[in-house]
Amino acid sequence: MRGSAVARNYAATLFDLAARNGSESLFSDLIEGVGELYSQNVALQRFLDAPSITSSAKKGVLQQAFDEHAPDLFVRFLLVLVDRRRQRLLPDIAAAYRELLDKNANRVRATVTLPFEADEVVQTEIMATLKRHFDKKVIPEFHVDERILGGVIIRVGDALLDASVRRQFEQLRRELQQGAPQAKFAFQSTSTEKFRQSQEETT
């Protein structure tokens, strides 16, 4: 079974454990923290991944670190991961768990890239449009990338909307290279106007 599939299975198990007493959000924070710690702390990675260190020693360290800071079910989940040598999946499990939590809360996460810092008006308009499109609450994450020149790039899960001016330039260049008789290039005055137009075309 592929690593991502295994991670999703573990995430589903953890979610079920959390749901026993309504601790889904708490467990999300905990697994996010552990996954991030594992990803960023090289010393911890080496310790948990070292074949020369026994599982008992590894579990003892984890128990000491988390016993007073996390529910028993969560700690036992971590110990099972170590027993099965699945600790390298911690970041993937955290990501899969977040997806389950979002699905359960009927929400999606959107990464929005603009060529400028989005003010409150732009953020509100984009969020409202996404909410109408997906019929779900949207948790946005805004980024700035001046290389896109204008327009907007939005990623929601596996879905990508690229309404950037840079992409239009690239499309125009390809059309000219292919000898298209009428290569057209639509220039929008604002990023949100282009975004709305793209949404109408996909519905």
pLDDT of the residue at 95: 93
Asked whether the beta carbons of 64 and 78 are under 8 A apart, the reply is no
- Rounded to whole angstroms, the maximal C-alpha distance in the chain is 71
Pairing of strands 107-114, 153-156: antiparallel
State whether 38 and 24 are in the same domain: yes
Q: What is the dihedral of CA 85, 89, 94, 95, to 10 degrees?
A: -160
State whether 98 and 137 are in the same domain: no
pTM of the model: 0.69
State whether 142 and 111 are in the same domain: yes
Half-sphere exposure of 78 (CA within 13 A, CB side): 27
Domain span at 144: 107-202
State whether 94 and 127 are in the same domain: no
Give me the phi and psi of 155, to 5 degrees please: -120, 125
What would the mean pLDDT of 181-191 be, rounded to a whole number? Answer: 43
State whether 98 and 7 are in the same domain: yes
Among 103, 128, 154, residue at a domain's last position: 103
DSSP three-state, residue 114? strand
Among 68, 103, 138, residue at a domain's last position: 103
Distance CA 14, CA 35 (A): 14
For 111-158, the pLDDT digits (tens) are: 999 988 988 998 888 888 888 888 888 888 999 998 887 788 888 877
State whether 17 and 59 are in the same domain: yes
pLDDT exceeds cutoff 80 at 86: yes
pLDDT of the residue at 31: 97
pLDDT of the residue at 175: 67
The DSSP letter of residue 187 is P
Q: Give me the CATH number covering residue 77.
A: 1.10.520.20
State whether 98 and 12 are in the same domain: yes
DSSP track, 130-168: HHHHHTSEEEEEEEE-GGG-SS-EEEETTEEEE--HHHH
Query: How far is residue 129 from each of residues 83, 136, 193, measured CA to CA in Å?
Result: 46, 11, 11
Distance CA 21, CA 146 (A): 46
Which is more confidently placed, 150 or 76? 76
Q: What residues contact residue 4 under an 8 Å CB cut-off, 6+ apart?
A: 92, 96
Mean pLDDT of the chain: 84
Total count of domains within the chain: 2
State whether 31 and 75 are in the same domain: yes
State whether 113 and 57 are in the same domain: no
Joined tokens for residue 47: 């310790």
